[in-house]
Amino acid sequence: MRHVAIVVCLAVVALVAPPARAEEKAPDLSGTWWGTFGALQLTSKGDAVTGTYGDGARFSLAGTRAGRTVKVALDEGGPAKGEATFEANATGTVLRGAYAWPNGNRGTWNLVRQDPKAESGAVASFAGTWITERGPFLITQTGAKVEGRYPFRGPVDVTGEVKGRRLTLRWKGPTFAGAGWLELAADKKSFAGVTTTDGQGGAWAIFGTPLAGHARKAKPKAGAIVGGLTSASLAYHVRWPESPPAGKGVPCLLLLHGSNMTSKAYVSTVAGAWPDLAKRFVLLGIDGETWVDGSPPDAPRCNYTYTDFVGRSTYQGFPGTDRQSPALVAEAVEELAKDLGLGKVLVGGHSQGAYLTYSLVMNFPERFAGAFPVSGGLIFQAEPRAFADADVRAAQRRVPLAIVHGRNDGIVGFSSAAHAHAAFLDDGFPALRLFDHPTAAHMFAMLPVRDAILWLDALTSDDVDALVAFGEARAAEGGWRDAIAAARRARTLPAGKASARLAALEARVDAAAKADAATHLAAVTKDADGAWVDAFLAWRAQFELAPAAKPAMDAYAALRAKHQPEADARQQAGRKAMQSGDEAAGWAAYQEIVDRCYASSWYPIVKGWLADRDAKK
């Protein structure tokens, strides 16, 4: 089984439910079921249960049932056997359960089949907003006719007709289309059904429960968190500031949640932990489009999709992956910026949300003023070297990037932040800073998020004097890269062209760069060995964009052109060796990069890997 979700659905036990469970007539479970892994053919005789599943019914299961509970062993042809437990509903139309294998692979396994009595009776109403595994499903109904929309790989538009408690539907998204059916439970508090995709085999279960507290368009209220839905049916939470700055466009902090979470929690955390930010920024959270099945409908937990998104990078994607979270969230931001009258948007996400933050900024840089990924890392499609279009690369470099991470993070290791920082630094991102914490772990509120946001706010100012003041302060503290970034930003503003104070700051920075420029140029040009590299890289991190640094940077670029091909080859060799289990060969290849290819882009990254390895010995 390929699904590895860790959420386990538990049966809900009623405290008072006469007649007693032992007296209930257990439903017949024999027949064809559809769900997480396609079709399952089940046979139930007495206490014995057998069945087949998978493509071509090539896997088998066998076990027992006691009332509504089914426990089976799973046989997929290997030496190990898995296990699964299901709980049937009273009508015998839904099996909720979970599977587990000895290797740790475990997850939910839910199955559905039609109720033969569902089409009898009056036309039921499906109207409302439902939370499903495919995100919020907004349904309108006129008589028996239905229209709806949900966000997963969409937006996906749904049309259909209701007969009794069954909705027969067609769905159409940007890439795929298909059909399906949903059946409303007798108590009208949930639905279950199956969908198919045109031209593809298999069918997949879908479940829904009512989603409260989300109007089609939220009406912001100062100091309160209200929920809404975008036109693509993404759920969002917005908190209006108590003291928004005067002028056009209120600045916004876009907050993206971690895995199995909701952005509402992050909006609440920022408002409570850093009230000064909540007083002047709109706090906006956008939830992922996939619901964690089994989480409560009044507080649904969600996940984003992004791992296969290639966007504007040089990689090739798969059908439908261009409609994962990065595209959906970017479109939602554009829509909500207009609806809410937002000004600059600083986007930040925690853990899973941090991975999404990187992807958003790299693929849609024009939509964001700054970014603060927290406790996450880069997928390879979002690496700066994955983009070749000159206009896209220029837009990316206009976005200040504050990377936040705790050095004791045991969930997403600090090396993820170090790698991302090294990658962006090596690719010449001017406004870049790593905000680390020496003792903090993964918890969002314990990290220097506020410091990162204030840094971004300063570097995205439209006030030349404020930018120069920030640059002067950072220069006094030895933060020369920040001073250069502030000066570059000020130069893009009309008033910057006539600012004598700005010119003085630029001269001060260039003088500081010039102090050691000749020494580094000589070391790079001579290139007797790699002993000069670490000192050069430390100097480059501060001054590479200063005019006085250009001769040394040009010489370094020429040397890199010689070292990079060999470094790329050795990195690939090391990676393959590690994947095959030959760690000794992998580390040897990485050491060769440090020893022989020290001017390559891989040098600082691989040196960090080696340092982490040695620290763990």
The amino acid present at 431, given as its one-letter code, is A
Give the pLDDT confidence of 485-514 residue by residue, as tens digits: 999 999 999 988 889 999 999 999 999 999
156 and 180 Cβ atoms separated by less than 8 Å: no
135 and 151 Cβ atoms separated by less than 8 Å: yes
From its phi and psi, is residue 296 left (phi > 0), alpha (psi between -120 and 50) or beta?
A: beta
d(CA 511, CA 516): 10
To the question of domain 128-210 being in CATH 2.40.128.30, the answer is yes
pLDDT at 8: 26
pLDDT at 320: 86
pLDDT at 6: 26
For the CA atoms of the chain, what is the radius of gyration?
28
pLDDT at 401: 98
- 264 phi, psi to nearest 5 deg: -60, -35
Domain at 243-460: CATH code: 3.40.50.1820
pLDDT at 24: 55
- In the numeric block, the tokens 């406790």 are attached to 375
Maximal C-alpha separation, the chain: 90
- Neighbour-count burial for 537-564, b at 16+ CB within 10 Å, e otherwise: bebbbbbbbbebbeebbebbeebbeebe
Structure tokens at 510: 């260039």
d(CA 256, CA 273): 17
In terms of Cβ atoms closer than 10 Å to its own Cβ (0-12, 13-18, 19+), residue 20 is: exposed
pLDDT at 256: 98
User: Quick one: which of 192, 279, 292, 294 has its CA closest to 241?
Assistant: 279
pLDDT at 281: 96
Tell me the CA end-to-end span of the chain in Å, nearest whole number: 35
pLDDT at 573: 96
Residues with Cβ within 8 Å of residue 469, at least 6 apart in sequence: none
Residue extent(s) of CATH 3.40.50.1820 domains in the chain: 243-460
pLDDT at 472: 97
pLDDT at 57: 83
Q: What is the DSSP letter of 115?
A: -
pLDDT at 15: 28
Structure tokens at 203: 């069918």
- In the numeric block, the tokens 């139930």 are attached to 44
167 and 146 Cβ atoms separated by less than 8 Å: yes
Other beta carbons less than 10 A from residue 216's beta carbon: 11
Report, as ranges of residue numbers, the positions in the chain whose pLDDT lies below 50.
1-23
21-112 folds as: Lipocalin (2.40.128)
User: Quick one: which of 565, 610, 563 has its CA closest to 588?
Assistant: 610
State the number of CA atoms in the 13 A half-sphere of 79 facing the CB: 1
The amino acid present at 492, given as its one-letter code, is T
pLDDT at 7: 26
Q: What is the DSSP letter of 117?
A: T
Residues with Cβ within 8 Å of residue 177, at least 6 apart in sequence: 170, 171, 197, 198
Q: HEC states along 355-401?
A: HHHHHHHHHCHHHCCEECCECCCCCHHHCHHHCCCHHHHHHHCCCCE
Which residues face 108 on adjacent strands?
A: 98
Residues with Cβ within 8 Å of residue 139, at least 6 apart in sequence: 126, 127, 128, 129, 130, 146, 147, 148, 158
124 and 162 Cβ atoms separated by less than 8 Å: yes
Residues with Cβ within 8 Å of residue 298, at least 6 apart in sequence: 212, 213
Measure the CA dihedral 492/495/497/500, to 10°. -130
Residue extent(s) of CATH 2.40.128.30 domains in the chain: 128-210
State the number of CA atoms in the 13 A half-sphere of 346 facing the CB: 29
